[in-house]
Chains A and B, each alone.
Chain A
Amino acid sequence: MTSAQLISVSMDIGQRLLQCGAETYRVEEAIFRICCSYGAKEINVYAVPTTIITSFTRNDEAPITRVSRIYNRSTNLGLLDQLNTLCRDICNEKMDYQSITERLHLIDRHAGYPDYMLCLTTGGGAAFFTFLFGGISIEALCSAITCMILWWIIAWMTRIRTNTLFINIVGGFWIASTALLFYKIGVIQQYDTMVIGSIMILVPGLVLTNAIRDLIAGDIVAGITKFTEALLVAAGIAVGAALPFSFAGLLVG
């Protein structure tokens, strides 16, 4: 394997890992280990949620550096699992370039769950969280329906590449306004539990926790980036949710 092939393979894996929601240290360690097992020296990897920079020297060649910009991230733990296995295999077996790219293609083509399944489980998750926060069956049903429709809205907006802040404003607005509507027409007795249960599918609690983990681990820049992301998402949801409540206040007086 040439140095150019090595850096492109390791960056491809690192990029996918970061995109499917791996921790910062895992991305850096994966790239480091792959480069290390093919005899690279002076390896430096720097990863933040939006960028990866890798640099190494090999066989007394001039140092080689690659930068990769990451635009979209989501949580895909199945993909993370597969990439982790691939990474371990590469380090143990010293696969050649051809077979690594074949494995990567296989992973890329690997189908996730079908859309209707994701939609149903999003609704189900929201319903069970409503139960968990003290809601009753009818509230859980309302939040399940709301979130299933919200899933389609989010999927559509992601497809046309709307930015994260706007998606969350729309999400917060949709949840709060449907909750108010159900409350006003007398389907549910209180809207708090329904709003909090439904909003669990949007809120960045995991991002906030990972941000503090990164800060403790010493990845200061990555931690602060994630922290800001969590604040931005939360602000979007709150702005969206505040709108219908203010309007309702104005109308009722």
Chain B
Amino acid sequence: MNNIIYQSLMSFFACICFAVVFQVKGKHIFFAGFGGLLSWLVYLLAAYPFPESVIPRYFIATVIVTIYSECCARILRSPVTVFLAISLLPLVPGGGIYQTMVYCINGNTVNAVRQCISTIGIAGALAIGIVVVSSIVHLILRQNSVR
């Protein structure tokens, strides 16, 4: 449990740093950083219901974080991307892309293909999570404006 809190805090500070690198201003930095904390926390906690596979964990974390970002965007009147891009940073499969290329260069084709498929799977889980939530939000908002 201590480890979960420690890692989530690290994710929070890392996201705050990257928010500044990406030129986010004012109190938006804090909300973006909190999104980073939330994404890693949900990812770690989802290990209990899904111990054997990582893809559902990434999907659930993305869904929660996208909902959070949509709420922040409505409250603070900013584009969703400002919060979403930063909150997703701990989840994006950077290490996977890197590992794939290292296997490729070392001529380890079997591991390269395995790593590549898992990386694209993770990126796909993130993308589908974002698309599902933003489509539903879009539907609800349109429903309200039609009435």
Interface residue ranges, A against B (CB under 8 Å): 21-23, 26, 75-81, 84-85, 112-113, 117-118, 121-122, 124-125, 128-129, 131-133, 196, 199-201, 203-206, 208-209, 211-213, 215-217, 230, 234-235, 237-239, 241-242
Contacts and interface: CB of A to CB of B under 8 A. Distances in A.
A203 B14 contact: no
Contact of A241 (B19, B86, B102): B102
A129 to B, nearest CB: 5
Majority SS of interface residues in chain A? helix
A205 B93 contact: yes
B54 interface: no
Contacts of B86: 77
B19 to A, nearest CB: 8
A203 to B, nearest CB: 3
A242 B21 contact: no
A214 B46 CA distance: 27
Contacts of B23: 76-79, 112-113
B73 to A, nearest CB: 10
B35 to A, nearest CB: 13
Interface in B14-68: 14, 17-25, 28, 40
Contacts of A85: 77
B124 A212 contact: yes
Given A237-B98, A237-B101, A22 B20 contact: no
Contacts of A230: 97
Contacts of A121: 17-18, 20-21
B59 to A, nearest CB: 13
Nearest to A128: B14
Given A113-B20, A121-B20, A132-B10, A204 B97 contact: yes
B13 to A, nearest CB: 5
A209 B17 contact: no
B105 A196 contact: no
Contact of A234 (B17, B98, B131): B98
Given A77-B19, A117-B20, A205-B94, 10 more contacts: A77-B86, A121-B18, A124-B13, A125-B17, A128-B10, A132-B10, A203-B95, A209-B127, A212-B124, A242-B106
A122 B106 contact: no
B69 interface: no
B14 A81 contact: no
Given A117-B20, A122-B21, A131 B10 contact: yes
Nearest to A204: B97
B81 A206 contact: no
A78 B79 CA distance: 10
B14 to A, nearest CB: 4
Contacts of A237: 98, 101
A31 B93 CA distance: 32
A234 B101 contact: yes
A132 B11 contact: yes
